[in-house]
Every structure is written in structure tokens, then in C-alpha cells.
Amino acid sequence: ARRIITRSGKQLLTARFYDDELIGSKQLVQRCIVAGTNAIGEPGAVLFPRKLAEKAGQFDGDRPYVIDVDYWVRLLQYGAAAAQHDALSTFRIDQNLSVRIGWKRCTQYLSFCDDNAKRWQISKLVLAWGRVRTVLNELLRRGVHIVFRVIG
């Protein structure tokens, strides 16, 4: 979970993707595809054992705008994930990188979904819905940032 705040620090909501504490690897990858966004968390919201990082290797810079979620999914090949219900990190809505890069992030997430649907044997229906959600999320992200730019 993470707190979503405005530029001035006002909390808007707490975003939670999970009610359960332990989430199977394939189930979590599928949730990321269905959500059309990184349903695991930003780098400041994810912890993992060093020994798994040594197995997974370095971050892959081929798709820099999804570098974090790509790495989390690579770590998931070694086992399930545990979710923390309490929000221990904060994400600020502002003119952050996700908005400035726009459609590049969206197209890279679509590519991430395609690759991982194959790798994790996710159904074509789930993949299709995830692709739609990815585009809708980009449009929504742009709208939210326009609103917050206007109201501050």
C-alpha cells in the first residue's frame, strides 16, 4: 500500500492492491497485467532478499519506463510475494516522470504485458483486458495530472 498525496502534501487516498498477505507469483504477475499498471509498487515500496537479487541479476534497461515492475516479476520466478497492508510509502502526484514520458511508458508497459503473458502462460483474454487498461490508465493519469496542475 502507498499513500497518494498532492504536490502540497495533502493526502488524497491510500492505494491498496491486496487484501491477502501472501500472493502467488503467477497470480501477482496476472494482477499487474490486468491492472494495466505496476500493481507491486515503486522501488521505495518493495523489499526483497539480497540473495534473490543476486539470482535475478541487474535491472534491465531495455524498457526503462517499466524497469521496476520488470525486475519485480523477475524476482517472482523464485517464489511468492508478501503484501504489507499498512501504507509505508508515499507517492506524490505532480509533474513526475510518468507523466512527462507519456506514451513511451504506455507502449513499454504493453510490451511488458505481452512478454510476461507468454512467459507466465496468462490467458489471451486477461492480456487483452490488461492492454485496454494500460491505455485507459495512461489517459486517466494525464487527466488527473491536468486537474492537479489547475487546482494545485
- pLDDT tens-place string over residues 67-105: 999 999 999 999 999 988 888 888 887 665 556 677 899
Question: Taken in order 95, 100, 101, 103, is the CA torsion positive or negative?
Answer: positive
Cβ atoms of residues 35 and 17 within 8 Å: yes
Give the torsion sign (CA, 41, 20, 55, 106).
negative
Amino acid identity for residue 117 in this structure: A
User: In this structure, what DSSP letter does residue 58 have?
Assistant: S
pLDDT at 145: 72
Whole-Å CA distances, 23 to 76, 90, 100: 10, 22, 32
- 118-133 pLDDT tens trace: 999 999 999 999 999 9
